[in-house]
Amino acid sequence: MSRIGKNPVAIPAGVTVEVNGNIVTVKGKKGQLTQEFSDVSVKIEDGQVLVERFSDHKDERSKHGLYRSLINNMIIGVSEGFTKQLELVGVGYRASNQGQKLDMALGFSHNIVLEVVSEVTVETISEKGKNPIIKLTSFDKQLLGQVAAKIRGFRKPEPYKGKGVKFVGEVLRRKAGKSA
């Protein structure tokens, strides 16, 4: 039995969970998310969501914990939301936003302008003497991670000086470089 899959997911106040066939819909104050599932059954009992599998087949065992985690992330997302912060490390690296348009100067000949989807809120923080920070917030954890990975992919941190776009708190493996 999957240790993650057998744990029930508590439904907090202000969140409604509906199961229609093989589709789970979660509604909360931040938004609404839906997820299609297969090879497991989802039940709502006593203010908790229970994910159970039909047999011990390999496919069902692998999806048991997965769908429980997805439903848990949906409930946390619509009630509290998720945040990711990216830090721009490098001389002349800047970021600014006008609404959902993110404008980044990452050392290329032209600025990179990215139109961020409406479900993800963008905020840029620029303080003197500190690296610029891009703050992304959303109720959809998958979409948030995808947008953050796309921004990071424009200029990944390099191992010698650490220049590039990195997550706040990310530990980079540094290399020594040439020794004289």
Strand boundaries in the chain, DSSP class E: 9-10, 16-20, 23-27, 32-36, 40-45, 48-53, 82-89, 94-98, 101-105, 112-115, 121-125, 133-138, 164-167
Q: What is the pLDDT of residues 156-168, one digit of tens each?
A: 999 999 999 999 9
Examine the domain organization and report whether 66 and 89 are in the same domain. Answer: no
Examine the domain organization and report whether 87 and 157 are in the same domain. Answer: yes
Examine the domain organization and report whether 73 and 100 are in the same domain. Answer: no
Examine the domain organization and report whether 72 and 118 are in the same domain. Answer: no
Take residue 153 and report the two structure tokens written for it: 């992919």
4 within domain boundaries:
no
Q: Are 85 and 147 in contact (CB under 8 A)?
A: no
Domain end call among 33, 61, 79: 79
Q: What is the pLDDT of residues 39-68, one digit of tens each?
A: 889 999 998 999 988 888 888 888 888 999
The CATH number for 49's domain is: 3.90.930.12
38 within domain boundaries:
yes
Domain end call among 62, 79, 96: 79
Domain that includes residue 19, residue range:
9-79
CA 62 – CA 149 distance, rounded (Å): 25
CA 171 – CA 89 distance, rounded (Å): 13
pTM of the predicted model, to two decimals?
Answer: 0.89
The owner of tokens 């908790």 is 48
Examine the domain organization and report whether 89 and 24 are in the same domain. Answer: no
Q: What percent of the chain has pLDDT over 90?
A: 78
55 within domain boundaries:
yes
Q: For the chain, how many structural domains are there in total?
A: 2
List for the chain the helix, strand, coil content (%; round to 5): 20, 35, 45
147 within domain boundaries:
yes
Q: Are 77 and 30 in contact (CB under 8 A)?
A: yes
Examine the domain organization and report whether 132 and 157 are in the same domain. Answer: yes
What number is the average pLDDT over the span 69-82? 94
Helix (H, G, I), strand (E, B) or coil at 136: strand
CA 164 – CA 167 distance, rounded (Å): 10
Q: Are 155 and 111 in contact (CB under 8 A)?
A: no
Examine the domain organization and report whether 89 and 149 are in the same domain. Answer: yes
User: How many residues are present in the chain?
Assistant: 180
Residue 61 burial (10 A CB sphere; 0-12, 13-18, 19+): middle
pLDDT value at residue 63: 87
- Tell me: pLDDT of 96 over 70: yes
